[in-house]
Chains A and B, each alone.
Chain A
Amino acid sequence: MAIVVLSPGILTSVQDGGRLGYQQYGVSPSGPMDAHAFRTANILVGNDPDEAGLEMTVMGAELTFTDAAVVAITGADMGATLNGTRTDMYRALCIQAGDVLKLGFAMSGCRSYLAVRGGIGTDPVMGSRATMLGKNFGGYKGRKLQKDDVLEIRPCSNKFTHPETYFTDPETVPAGVRTLRVVMGPQEDRFTEQGIRTFLSSEYTVGQDFDRQGYRLEGEKIEHKTDSNIISDGVVTGSIQVPGTGLPIVMTAERATVGGYTKIATVITADLPLIGQCKAGDRIRFQEVSVETAQDLLKQEADRLEELRKLVEDPSHLPEEKTPAFEEAAPVPEHEFEYTKDVTISINGKAYEVTIQKWK
């Protein structure tokens, strides 16, 4: 069982829940930039939430399958098609041998995820299949995917009966200004009051320099009391460094493990997926919350995923599949319309015959 890459898109890599336990040796966790979408995809195909899947960036991949498989697509909407027909996101899709799944440009957001039942079976490095693109290890040969790469799919034994019934409401990546909630510190005392005010009240724009290591933001300069240097200390995913330029850098999955710049605040874990879906030109605001609030929000996120996992493991809990409430329209004499057209549209995988008529 394997996935064959027909076209890799701009930047597609194998990711799992991340490489934990090696930060003291200088190895950052890596893993998905939008952990929420990533885990949702895995749950929908009956996997462990942190199983290895694909992360696609800005423009997705074209893939084919050597055998039947079950996949799910989440995150940014890249207009996925299956054998040329538009297909749904946020649901388990049954793939037949030879089927072609194609993702295009992200219409909103930045990153899409593809989970495959069983997970992708590259050799783990330090216990993880996450690709560390910046350091060329992990995942598939330590690099982004290329045409003709063959990704093995691992066999899966847990029970999974009616994949076509596993779905959740599609989530859309928010448009407009994203508000990232932050916990202040650890070095907020190295900034002036004005500097803190600037940080919390102005709008920042994602610059051209954004990747899995970090997001450089453009906007109003944040004022330091003296300078931006500290004796290097540990960095976390979400740390917001402010170097001498006064412009913030949000540290993401492939960040350094230690750094020598002042960190004004840290993006809360529950909001990290928001930054992972930002691309150049997107606007960001920061809002301060307490650690307690941040931890409550993280708990809510964990509960949401757990709910979804329960539904998938026991489909009897699933609500009846929603059918759009279309009422049959009373026939209207044709001469009152400019034109009439019959089309077939697909909603949640079901085909509906629809008649479009334009008033005169």
Chain B
Amino acid sequence: MSEAVIRPAGDSALLVEFENEISLEVNSRVRALKYTLEQSPFEGMGELVPAYRSLLIGYDPLRIRMKAAQEEIRSRLGHMDKVSLPKAVVTEIPVCYDKEYAVDLEHIAQLEHTTEEEVIRIHSQSDYFVYMLGFAPGHPYTARFENPFSFKRMENPRLKIPGGSIVVQLALSDIIPFDQPCGWNIIGSTPVLACDYRKENPFLLKAGQWIHHRPVSKEEYLDIKKQVEAGTYVCRTWEKED
């Protein structure tokens, strides 16, 4: 394990970088530092933005200067191995793989030289880790750790895909919260909202947790959608086994 590097990101934030790779091990250090800072914030600390291998730590320079903030962070980095993170949560995401929504399912099966059923099985059997949120409010960057697909993004991105789309490439799978352009293949759609501004906490997911896709029929999809619109649907969650 190499030592973390602390770099200034302007006059109001410090970026703490761990090893330069995307892995659960490296990301667990990001989570441990974030958790430590949340448990014992330093005077003047601002927002924390976790990413794959780094944590951006905002601070108010009118309340704490850079050198002092660096010291606060260094002292917490020194105590990180003693931190036991709380058990991660798994959130169940209902996904309809019906052709009406899974517009690229047939194409994906062709690319993988297998059946559509097998593609659905691969996509829905694993837990996916949420590395971070970004791009759009509530948009999770998630990955599974087995059976990656062989294809990457499409050559011609679509100018607009509907919110709720589940898009995939390699071992990655993202939930698209709102209509947007996208160059990934669409494997299905979820009726739940990754971001719902009507709620006090609009976000379904958080960096560092897991998700699991549960295949649902079109009937169930439409039924859940109604409940989501009424604000009554709650996704099932459970603790992740180690």
Q: A: which residues have CB within 8 A of B?
A: 20-27, 125-126, 135-137, 183, 185-186, 231-236, 238-239, 256-258, 263, 266-269, 291-292, 294-295, 298-299, 302
Contacts and interface: CB of A to CB of B under 8 A. Distances in A.
B35 interface: no
Contact of B66 (A137, A257, A295): A295
B42 interface: no
B49 A126 contact: no
A135 B15 CA distance: 26
Contact of B138 (A25, A235, A294): A25
B137 A135 contact: yes
Contacts of A23: 47, 49, 58
Nearest to B133: A26
A115 B15 CA distance: 35
Contacts of B8: 183, 185-186, 266, 291
B52 interface: yes
B56 to A, nearest CB: 3
A254 B228 CA distance: 28
Contact of A269 (B10, B52, B54): B10
Given A22-B137, A183-B11, A291-B8, A126 B202 contact: yes
Interface in B86-142: 132-139, 141
B11 A294 contact: yes
B11 A186 contact: no
A22 B15 CA distance: 17
B136 A135 contact: yes
B22 interface: yes
A26 B139 contact: yes
A263 B51 CA distance: 15
B39 interface: no
A112 B197 CA distance: 29
A299 B60 CA distance: 11
A234 B15 contact: yes
B62 A298 contact: yes
B28 interface: no
B149 interface: no
B209 to A, nearest CB: 12
A234 B65 contact: no
B51 A236 contact: no
A292 B66 CA distance: 8
26 contacts: A24-B133, A26-B133, A26-B139, A27-B137, A125-B197, A135-B178, A183-B10, A231-B21, A232-B141, A233-B53, A234-B49, A234-B55, A236-B9, A236-B56, A257-B49, A257-B134, A258-B49, A258-B51, A263-B9, A269-B10, A269-B11, A291-B8, A292-B65, A294-B61, A298-B61, A299-B61
B135 A186 contact: no
Given A24-B49, A137-B197, 13 more contacts: A21-B47, A23-B49, A26-B137, A135-B178, A137-B137, A234-B50, A236-B58, A258-B51, A258-B132, A258-B135, A269-B12, A291-B66, A299-B61
Given A24-B207, A292-B66, A234 B10 contact: no
A185 B178 CA distance: 32
A112 B42 CA distance: 37
Contacts of A137: 137, 197
Given A24-B50, A185-B8, A295-B11, A233 B56 contact: yes
Nearest to A259: B134
Contacts of A291: 8, 11, 66
B48 interface: yes
Contacts of B53: 231, 233
Contacts of B232: none
Nearest to A28: B137
A183 B12 CA distance: 11
User: Which residue of B8, B11, B62, B134 has the most chain A CB atoms within 10 A of its CB atom?
Assistant: B11
Interface string B14-50: 0101001110000000000000000000000011111
